[in-house]
Amino acid sequence: MSRQASRGTESKKMSSELFTLTYGALVTQLCKDYENDDDVNKQLDKMGYNIGVRLIEDFLARSNVGRCHDFRETADVIAKVAFKMYLGITPSITNWSPAGDEFSLILENNPLVDFVELPDNHSTLIYSNLLCGVLRGALEMVQMAVDVKFLQDTLKGDGVTEIRMKFIRRIEDNLPAGEE
Amino acid sequence: MAIFSVYVVNKAGGLIYQLDSYAPRAEAEKTFSYPLDLLLKLHDERILVAFGQRDGIRVGHAILSINGVDVNGKYTGDGKEVLDYLANPANYPVAIRFGRPRLTSNEKLMLASMFHSLFAIGSQLSPEQGSSGIEMLETDTFKLHCFQTLTGIKFVVLADPRQAGIDSLLRKIYEIYSDFALKNPFYSLEMPIRCELFDQNLKQALEVAEKAGTFGPGS
């Protein structure tokens, strides 16, 4: 509807190259600032978290998604709406756990790593770890505690990039009124 | 003007933004001679009219200014107590302006968190499970519209009962909030919104909504 047209930033869609290069600069600077890769991974996750808690409001204000009633619905919204909207890709959802509380997002082409080759001395660096933080922060704001991590990464020679999401619990203490 | 005010309440029930967009009507100024034929009383640090309603001066109105100088609670502009000042025949004739006392920002804060609780009570009273809280509250002079996001932020708009298009205005305010408050890296979450751009865009949206909504049903 007119919602799309009225979105000021829709016309401001910029080249993803500037974004990936900026992200690359961020990661390399962090690698300079911190001794080991674990600290870099932690910083990326933290930054992602801070982005996620703000981004969720933008997402909810722009898209017409309502509350998800199960984790499968959440997975669909993340893959088909959110990734599409912010990164222009649609990951596939696979590897559901029997209990339905865990799934994997398979990214065929991760825009963050377009031009990246990991040097040998950064074998434990999780280059795109920011994404984990974003997902965790955003879902926390809609009262879902989740665990997010990379299982496979094409940068490390895997065939695909796989993000594993595990539902931990509903966050009951800041549930808005009217939600069960 | 058909939209009176906007409130934004965070998920803990704290008021983080408030905007009034109306000029108070019903103010009356009159020159009095001694003795004052109105009964005044001190209530809650303000001087209110207790008896003697006339000429647009109503019971409950507060003294806003004396001889053109704004009063400050129960004190005159130069620091004397209003009641003592008016008891002295030497000060007459005197021009006093009366009006409805404005809500102080403290009172607004209190009312917002009270509404937060009412909203929760509303959803608990519901006979059906999973009801939302109060979405609309109607009186004879205004309607209160409330929109709660999935993250628990409440946007509240007070508008003329005949004003249409408030639902889309509430969504628009959510967008403005996500753009100009949350995307401002120097805005900290859950804290009062003091962002110039947020103000500007909100005022613009209110103007647009007022213009677009005046042809709604009933007007």
Per-residue pLDDT at A11: 45
* pLDDT at B217 (0 to 100): 46
The residue-averaged pLDDT of B49-67 equals: 84
pLDDT at B182: 92
Query: Cβ of B133 under 8 Å from any chain A Cβ?
Result: yes
Which of A18-27, A108-117, B132-141, B190-199 has the lowest average pLDDT?
A: A108-117
Domain that holds residue A95: 16-170
Please give the interface size between A and B, counted as residue pairs whose CB atoms are below 8 Å apart: 67
Question: Do B19 and B32 belong together in one domain?
Answer: no
The answer to whether residue A8 is domain-embedded is no
User: B165 with B178, same domain?
Assistant: yes
**What's the CATH code of the domain at A52?**
3.30.1380.20
CB contact under 8 A, A66 and B150: yes
Chain B closest-CA separation from residue A55 CA (Å): 8
The CATH number for B35's domain is: 2.30.42.40
Mark which of B43, B64, B99 sits at the end of a domain.
Answer: B99
Kindly state the percentage of chain A with pLDDT values over 90: 66
- Percentage of chain B lying above the pLDDT 70 cut: 95
B125 in the same domain as B94: no
pLDDT at B160 over 50: yes
Indicate the pLDDT class of residue B216, thresholds 50, 70 and 90: very low
Nearest CA in chain A to B132: A178
Among B117, B114, B111, smallest CA distance to B18 is for B111
| Residue A133 domain-assigned (yes or no) | yes
Q: Do B150 and A53 touch (CB under 8 A)?
A: no
B18 and B31 share a domain?
no
- When divided into structural domains, chain A yields a total of 1
> Once rounded to an integer, what is the mean pLDDT over residues B73-91?
86
**pLDDT exceeds 70 at position B183:** yes
Under a CB-based contact definition with an 8 Å cutoff, are residues A170 and A139 in contact?
no
Task: Answer yes or no: is B216 within a domain.
Answer: no
CA distance A68 to chain B (A): 10
Find the chain A residues whose C-beta atoms sit closer than 8 A to any C-beta of B.
7-9, 53-54, 56-58, 60-62, 66-67, 141-142, 174-180
Task: Using an 8 Å CB-CB cutoff, list chain A residues near B152.
Answer: 174-176
A176 falls within a domain: no
Asked if residue A6 is part of any domain, the answer here is: no
- On whether both B120 and B64 belong to a single domain, the answer is no
Q: Which residue of A has its CA nearest to B12?
A: A174
Which residues in chain B have Cβ-Cβ distances shorter than 8 Å to A174? 11-12, 152
- Check whether B46 has a pLDDT greater than 60: yes
Q: Judge: B152–A176 Cβ closer than 8 Å, yes or no.
A: yes
In a domain, B115, yes or no: yes
Does A8 sit within 8 Å of B189, measured CB to CB? no
Which residues in A lie closer than 8 A to residue B149 (C-beta atoms)? 57, 60-61, 176
Q: Is B67 left (phi over 0), alpha (psi -120 to 50) or beta?
A: left
Q: Domain for residue A9, yes or no?
A: no
Letter string b/e over residues A11-25, b meaning 16 or more CB atoms within 10 A of that residue's CB:
eeeeeeeeebeebbe
Query: Does B219 map to a domain?
Result: no
Domain boundary among the residues B81, B99, B117 is at B99
Q: What is the pLDDT of residue B71?
A: 85
Q: Characterize A124-154 residue by residue with b for buried, 16 or more Cβ atoms within 10 angstroms of its Cβ, and e for exposed.
A: ebbbbbbbbbbbbbbbbbbbbebebebebbb
Of B116, B119, B152, the CB nearest to A174: B152
**B129: contact with A, CB 8 A cutoff:** yes
CATH number for the domain harbouring residue B188? 3.30.450.70
Please report, for chain A, how many H helices and E strands are present, in that order. 6, 4
**Rounded-to-integer distance, Cα A158 and Cα B7, Å:** 51
pLDDT at A9 (0 to 100): 45
Kindly state whether residues B67 and B116 are assigned to the same domain: no
Residue B217 lies in a domain: no
B207 touching chain A per CB within 8 A: no
| Tokens (6 digits) for A62 | 């722009």
If one compares A4 and B145, the residue with the highest pLDDT of the two is: B145
Predicted TM-score of the model (pTM) = 0.82
Let me know whether B190 and B111 are in one domain.
yes
Is B218 a domain residue? Answer: no
The C-alpha of B141 sits at a distance from chain A's nearest C-alpha, in angstroms, of 27
Q: Where a domain ends, among B57, B74, B99?
A: B99
Q: Which of B121, B146, B155, B175 is best to mutate for the A interface (most A CBs within 10 A)?
A: B175
* Same domain, residue pair B14 and B52: no
Residues B181 and B153 placed together within one structural domain of the fold: yes
Closest CA to B211 of B156, B180, B169, B173: B169
pLDDT at B1: 53
**Residues A63-114: pLDDT tens digits?**
988 888 889 999 999 999 999 999 989 999 999 999 999 999 999 888 888 8
pLDDT-derived band at A6 (thresholds 50, 70, 90) equals very low
Among the residue ranges A50-59, A168-177, B25-34, B209-218, the one predicted with the least confidence is B209-218
Mutate to test the interface with B, among A6, A51, A57, A58 (most CBs of B within 10 A): A57
Contact A178 B123 (CB under 8 A): yes
* Residue of B122, B151, B175 lying closest to A141 (CB–CB): B151
More confident residue, A127 or A68: A127
Whether B119 contacts chain A with CB within 8 A: yes
Q: Are B201 and B179 in contact (CB under 8 A)?
A: yes
Query: How many domains does chain B contain in total?
Result: 2
Query: In this structure, are B19 and B31 located in the same domain?
Result: no
In a domain, B185, yes or no: yes
In a domain, A131, yes or no: yes
Whether A60 and B133 lie within 8 Å, measured CB to CB: no
Phi, then psi, of A85 in degrees rounded to 5: -70, -40
B84: containing domain: 27-99
* % of chain A at pLDDT higher than 70: 91
Are residues B55 and B113 located together in one domain of the fold?
no
Instruction: Tell me, yes or no, whether B143 and B191 share the same domain.
Output: yes
